[in-house]
Structure 1
Amino acid sequence: MKNNYFLAFLSAFLLWLAWPPIPYTSILLFIGFVPLLIAVENIIRGDYKKKGRKIFGLAFLTGVVWNTGSIYWVYNAMHAYLDAFTSLMIALIPFTLAPLLMALAFRLYYQMRKRNNILLSFMGLISFWIAYEYLHQSWELSFPWMTLGNGFANFHQLVQWYSITGVYGGTLWIWISNVLIFLWYWQRKEKVEVYSQKIILGVLSAWLIIPALSSLIIYSTYEEHVNPSEIVTVQPNIDPFQKWGTITPEEQLKILTDLSQKVAKLNTEFFIWPETAISGDNGINEDEFREYSQYREVLNFLEPYHNGNVLSGIESYVIYDDQKTLTTRAIGNVFYDSFNAGVLIDGSSKLQFYHKSKLVPGAEKMPFGKALSVLTPLFKHFGGTTGGYGSQAEPSVFYSASGIGAAPVICYESIWGNYVAQYIKKGAQFIAVITNDGWWGDTSGKDQHLQYAKLRAIENRRWVVRSANTGISGFINQRGDIVQKSSWWVPTALSQEINLNEDLTFYTKYSDLIVYLSFVTSLLSIGLMIVRKK
């Protein structure tokens, strides 16, 4: 088994090396699972007891090492508040949860191999894997950071066809490549030819070259429709660990307006400010926001800009007459919901609010409601907020007085391709990602978050304007190129003329068709596992 453990570690190393933000290493994803597949095949064909458990263990080992190496910054966020042991215990949840699901996919693959040929079994493995990825972006413990297709964020020139398939097209591309390479290697190693080696190499070459070449052609020939809008994005660089106590909401607002004015033009239409940029001592009452000094200061700031709008993050709450939702809190006879929200302010008295929907498990919501409420103290500092935020079911678009539609995507939400696409279907002409990545420190977490935004730009062919409190802020065009970006931990503002777009891509219209197909093949695979082979 020692050799098999080595192969499992080798797969983890290759997958880690291929993962953002390391540039141009994504091609290693095409071979990343091959060592693990060899180890699994060694067990299947070897004289081992409890083969299913051993395969599960090897796949879990690969997943844990790969995940931990890629998202180690989760521990960094914990350790800023807690002691090393407690931080590690909490970080183990994202480090191990996805690998458990990955290992389950391999365990089911082994069950298929008992009754079916290797090609049908690989169909099952790929289907189970995609089903796991979709589950991990849909359930209460969602954390789709490590979806395989995200791995091409650091080499986006190769995946311009994400405008058709989304990131699950990347997952499929990676897995079929690994399977074909494994089949070719194994037959060569064992000196057998159940399937023609020439056909395998031919299919592999076409499978690798055609998507890559097509993407490069799309990338080099794609032209944006000229529909300009002047945008400013601001990075105030306020330390999130010291924000509450060392700086007042008024001082924070002054930093934002001062930075904005340094680069603004008279025709600037949107000023994008980061997550929770507008706040009060106890949050902002949305129904009474017009009475707050912060609102009046924003209106004064906007006076020189006749078409100007401020799209900002805001800490807000809404008061109810009685219990409205599962997250509604009560102080005496007063019921309210707190929100991590976005707001659009223009020169009129009109206000538009959006309540973040994709909440961070533990940090902003308690997964599975009351069933896990006992874990609230453990989750308290995950991301710097406390659990129990309210949310809204669907995204909503902010519209300026001139009719421009903006997608207010708050932090964590930018990882969901299908969710961001809903903004676009509702009329968003550009994507505004407002976030605060300072919780993770100067780690690869902030860089990965920036890189993933490139994929949203490609999927929907929309500019992405990113405003991050402590970095990295910037502009991404419709091809996924980072046109401008700020430095880490530097207060700044950037100005850019972007092109608005109203056309809908195939992906925007039809979302994750590959997932739906994988559900069908997963059910068929389970049926093949159950039906007794004649």
Structure 2
Amino acid sequence: MAYQYRLLLAILSGLLFAFIFIYMALPCAFTALVPLIIALHKLPLKKSIVPGLLCGLTIGSFSSSWMLESLAAFASTTTAVFIYTLSVLLIGLMMLLGSILLYPFINNRLPFIVKSIGIASTWTLFEWFIGNSIPGAFWFHPNLFKGVLKSELLIQVAAFGGGWLVSFFCAWINAALALCLLQKSKQTFIWLLSLCSFFTGLSYLVSGLYHPTSKNNETAKVALINANHPLHMQWNEQTGDRVVQEMLRLNAAAYATGSALHIWTEAIVPWSFRKDDDFLQALLKNPGQEKKGHIIGMLTDYAPDTYYNSAYYIEALNDTVQRYDKQFPLMYSEAPLTLFSVPLAGSPGFNIKAGQKDGLFRTLAGKAGITICNESLIPKASRKLARDGAEFLMIISNDGWIANSYLAQQHFYSARLQAVESRRDVLINSNSGYSGGFNSMGKELARQKETVGFVLPLFIRKNTTLSFYSKNYHFFIYVYLFLTVLLSIILITQTFKRRIA
């Protein structure tokens, strides 16, 4: 195959990946790697650098385009263009690394099924490594499972191995399809059909085997309160009173639903938490006699110009107040300067201090595990919550900076993955983004996105069943590592024997 055609295949692979991230396109999850594998097949190692880099640059050019508008709203256009260019380059280098890792598993003499497993396990470890290296930047994560987030059925295997197991099957089918096209044999085609049938059948089986053990089918009613504050809303003497009065109106509407728990969004006001805050005291004024619980996102003072991004659970300000501090600050806007992080020029000196403990609140609606904003897309931020006793999960967020991009929808549907992984009902309440929830099977309970404030009452079912993934988070990671190391040893041994022959 001519080299220029290989480069075109690399670009095609990048476009398919971009469709995964932007549209969560299911077919692309099973085909995005195919052109890249074909492009790298029987290509000298030195020449394989360009296809991998080109694939990544193509992905980044499209998947990072949201930065040009969103970051310009926080900083200058020049800063947005700089960070966009940097992101495109980093994604290019990231895919270059991925291609180098895949290269020996694509170009060897191993049998079809073994070769495809080697490609799949190596790619899954690559995804896991990137996700854990830069957890605060989910838009960099090259996860194939993002293409499956809209499928209630095919996401089910996540109950055993999380999103990584979904990605493994996606990568395995990608590899099998690519090798089938390269080898053009009836046997490889049968293997491919068998693999697709196995994955689909396993998804049905996992779904059918799941039986939640709830406390006498105990449910609880909660109210999501979303003020939908505009991105650049000014808090001053002219607007402050009006905004607060609107929030109190929404609060009264939530009380009227009879919900046991009221859940607000992330950082609902631009000041830090204080027990003597008049606004909080007004929120907690119950027009009835029944006690209510409130989860409220607010900042917590840490040091000058440094804060915790916190969630508070409050029943009464004179009682014990529970607090969770966000553990994985968002790159570009919350994280301090690192190799992979440039704080926004529009917010100098404002940094978020990372919390150290998982969030588990004992509420009137049950034990609630909580994550904040981008943490819902970071497996290690929520993997222990069910095991620690959470009966349902919730995500509070402010998607104002990505409200007009594809990331808002990706953020919402990532809650489905979290629900299936943990076998817990998951609620998400996002300012300017999508709010709603999924049950423990991944079925969508509600989805709402507005430009004005609203209250969304929902029933959640408390669950104490622990999924295999919740109990054995690292099990399949060790399996992928074992397969990759074993096949690497086999390849090294084969190479050594050929050289001395």
TM-score range (shorter-chain normalised) is: 0.7 to 0.9
Supply the distance in 1 between the matched residues of 2:487 and 2:348 (Cα, whole angstroms): 42
Count of aligned pairs: 487
* Contact 1:106–1:125 (Cα < 8 Å) also in 2: no
Counterpart in 2 of 1:344?
313
Secondary structure class of the residue paired with 2:132: coil
Moved more, 511-520 or 437-446: 511-520
Question: C-alpha distance in 2, partners of 1:381/1:350?
Answer: 38
Establish whether residue 407 from structure 1 lines up as the match of residue 395 from structure 2.
no
- Name the structure 2 match of 1:274: 265
Structure 1 stretches of 5 or more lacking a match?
Answer: 45-50, 319-328, 331-335
Partner of 1:128: 122
After TM superposition, list the pairs within 5 Å mapping 1:250-269 onto structure 2: 251-265=242-256, 267-269=258-260
What is the SS of the residue equivalent to 1:498?
strand
Residue in 1 aligned with 2:282? 297
TM-score, normalization: structure 1?
0.82
Identify which of 170, 191, 212 aligns with 2:200. Answer: 212
1:489 maps to: 451
Indicate if the aligned counterparts of 1:101 and 1:132 stay in contact, CA closer than 8 A: no
Q: Deviation per CA, 1:227-277, whole angstroms, max 9, x where unpaired?
A: 110110022111122245587666544433312322544641111100001
Looking at structure 1, the residues matched to 334 and 158 of structure 2 have their Cα atoms a distance apart, in angstroms, of 30
Q: Give the aligned residue type for 1:181.
A: L
**TM-score w.r.t. structure 2 length?**
0.88
Answer yes or no: is the 8 Å Cα contact 1:78–1:381 preserved in 2: no
Residue 76 (str. 1) matches residue 69 (str. 2): yes
Equivalents in 1 of 2:477, 2:237: separation in Å? 47
For 1:123 and 1:266, the matched residues in 2 are separated by 52
2:491 matched to 1:533?
no
Distance 1:218 1:433, change over 3 A: same
| Residue 379 (structure 2) pairs with residue 393 (structure 1) | no
Counterpart of 1:291 in 2: which secondary structure?
coil
SS of 2:386's equivalent?
A: helix
Change (3 A) 1:500 1:156: same
CA–CA distance in 1 between the matches of 2:486 and 2:206?
Answer: 35
Aligned pair in 2 of structure 1 residues 109, 96: CA closer, same or farther (>3 Å)?
same
The residue aligned with 2:151 is 155
2:352 alignment partner, SS class: coil
State the percentage of identical aligned residues: 20
1:30 and 2:38 matched: no
Distance 2:53 2:306 in 1: 39
Q: Relative to structure 1, is the Cα distance of residues 108 and 263 closer, same or farther in structure 2, using a 3 angstrom cutoff? A: closer
Partner of 1:4: 6
Distance 2:283 2:175 in 1: 56
Q: Note if 1:55 corresponds to 2:39.
A: no
Deviation at 1:522? 3.8
What secondary structure, in the 3-state scheme, does the structure 2 residue paired with 1:36 have? helix
- Sort the Cα spacing of 1:88 and 1:516 in 2 relative to 1 into closer, same or farther, 3 A: farther
Per the TM alignment, residue 480 of structure 1 is displaced from its structure 2 partner at its CA by: 1.7
In structure 1, the residue matched to 2:229 is 238
Are the equivalent residues in 2 in contact too, given 1:272–1:312 (CA < 8 A)?
Answer: yes
Q: 2:328 aligns with which of 352, 358, 368?
A: 358
| Counterpart residue number, 1:316 | 300
C-alpha distance in 2, partners of 1:298/1:40? 60
**Structure 1, residues 65-90: CA drift from partner, whole Å, max 9, x if none?**
23442343233211223444431221
Correspondence 1:89 to 2:82? yes
Distance 1:265 1:156 in 2: 33
Residues of 2 paired with 1:68 and 1:443: CA distance? 14
> What is the aligned partner in structure 2 of residue 137 from structure 1?
131
Aligned to 1:517: 479
TM-superposed CA distance for 1:58, in Å, is 0.8
Q: Which runs of 5+ in 2 are unaligned?
A: none
Corresponding residue for residue 325 of structure 1: none
Deviates more, 1:220-229 or 1:305-314: 220-229
Determine if contact 1:34/1:181 at 8 Å carries over to the other structure.
yes
Counterpart of 2:458 in 1: which secondary structure?
strand
Task: Tell me the amino acid that sits aligned with residue 354 of structure 1.
Answer: Y
Partner amino acid, structure 2, of 1:306: E
- Whether contact under 8 Å (2:223, 2:257) holds in the other structure is no
Residue 453 of structure 2 is aligned to residue 451 of structure 1: no
Amino acid at match of 2:460: I
The 3-state SS of whatever aligns with 1:422 is coil
Preserved CA contact (<8 Å) 1:256 1:273: no
